[in-house]
Chain A
Amino acid sequence: MEIELAALKSQLNPHFLFNTLNNIYSLSITNSPSTSEAIAGLSAMLDHVLYRSHDRFVPLQQEINFIRNYVSLEELRYGEELDVKLVADDITTGAVAPLILPSLVENAFKHVGVNSQNQQFVKIKLSRQQQQLKFLVVNTYAAHEHGDNENGIGLKNIRQQLSLIYQQNYNFQTVKQEGIFVAQLEIDII
């Protein structure tokens, strides 16, 4: 149980959780047809974090579903202000280490902001070439944001997990310039 709670805390930050519940509450009050979808999405996320992400590797498809649900709930939070695109190859087999890909997505939503070209977007692309998975996350960041300390901690954790699980067999690069942050991860699908 403690492990489950720790996982929940680290993966679904309370701020996201309570804001999302507030949004769902808001939808329910207006009898919006999106209510049930949002509840189902949030439940699926909780299920994944609490019960399906303890193994060293989990089905890639589950992780993709988790990301899809997360992205739709973030879209619900920010509405039309934020341009979100998620493109994922239809992958039905293979496994990856749990919750690393979602961390990159969460990181993008945490730091996204309007850049000096007046853009604000998060773009996520997941593609497969034979046994290799390529995951690309691109987000704009606010013009005034230069201290990347917070960002740095998130990325440092991701790097640590990667090297713990994949040792040398991964390639992770980030670039931050001119209002756009790019993170690219290549790992082998198990």
Chain B
Amino acid sequence: MKVKCLLVDDEPLAIQLLENHLSNLEGFEIVGTCNNAIRAAEILREVKVDLLFLDIRMPKMTGLDLLRMTKVVPPVIITTAFRAHAMEGYELDIVDYLLKPITFDRFFKAVEKYLRLYRTLPVDKAAMAPSITIVNIKSGGKYLRLSAEDIRYIESFRDQIVIHTKDGGLISAKYKISDIEKELDGNIFLRIHRSYIVNIKAITAFNNYSVSVDTTELPVGASYRDFVFNILKNC
């Protein structure tokens, strides 16, 4: 499924530049362009948009105002000539901040970052991954070799983790959850909460607040919500 992009800038050549940059990439399509934030808000209500390219300084309403006033905003890449607004943009939780003139190299980095954050499981990548991934876990003085698909989810208590395996077993090990997260393949496992990492394939149901692994319901942390929802929706 292609990434649906909306381009918002009051300068037509700036839009043309983004169109050109995007045309060099596969997997992106432009579902709309407009020259002001008010129209952008309308389009966002009418059309599904996966990625928003947004200028800041525009007549009537600024891009930052749009982000503040709109409840559901897709991931945003800011494009602007203003050097001063970067911090404000990051507070609004944007993917990246591109300064004009926008070179293709820098643009490509921003788009890659978007893909990394919101599309961790593209089909081709999954196909390329080896069918069995081994996870080495240090436990009780030795390394246990677990197959990734045998892990249903991982739960943490302080510096201790408990691995819930497919056969209903429990393996306990001394790890910080953030350390084990780094060792796991992001295409297979998903951090959903301060205390939980889940095997994406083991998830049988989900909504904004929780995911189910068979009959076990696990909470989704507020700060992970958008990310988790996006990933699960798209794969």
Contacts and interface: CB of A to CB of B under 8 A. Distances in A.
Interface stretch (A25-33, A85-93, A161-169): A25-33
Contact of A19 (B59, B81, B83): B81
B57 A30 contact: no
Chain B interface SS verdict (over half): loop
Q: How many interface residues does chain A have, given as a range? A: 20 to 34
Nearest to B12: A79
Contacts of A26: 13-14, 16-17, 20
A19 B35 contact: no
A13 to B, nearest CB: 10
Contacts of B59: 113-114, 142
A21 B35 CA distance: 19
A94 interface: no
B94 interface: no
A25 B81 contact: no
B101 A30 contact: no
Interface residues of B, number: 20
B60 A144 contact: yes
Interface string A5-29: 0000000001101110111111101
Contacts of B103: 25
Contacts of B99: 18
B21 to A, nearest CB: 8
A79 B35 CA distance: 11
Interface in B168-210: none
A81 interface: yes
B11 A77 contact: yes
B60 A22 contact: no
Contacts of B60: 113, 142, 144
A142 B65 CA distance: 18
Contacts, number: 62
Contacts of B11: 19, 22-23, 77-79
Contact of A14 (B16, B17, B83, B102): B83
A43 to B, nearest CB: 16
A76 interface: yes
A81 B102 CA distance: 23
A186 B17 CA distance: 42
A119 B20 CA distance: 31
A15 B100 CA distance: 9
Interface in B1-55: 10-14, 16-17, 20, 35
A72 to B, nearest CB: 13
B16 A30 contact: yes
Interface of A: 14-15, 17-19, 21-27, 29-30, 76-81, 113-114, 142, 144
24 contacts: A14-B81, A15-B81, A18-B99, A19-B11, A19-B14, A19-B81, A19-B100, A22-B11, A22-B14, A22-B101, A23-B13, A25-B103, A26-B16, A27-B13, A29-B20, A77-B11, A78-B12, A79-B12, A79-B13, A80-B12, A81-B12, A114-B59, A142-B59, A144-B60
Given A22-B102, A25-B102, 13 more contacts: A19-B11, A22-B11, A22-B14, A22-B17, A24-B101, A26-B14, A26-B20, A27-B13, A29-B20, A30-B16, A79-B13, A80-B12, A144-B60
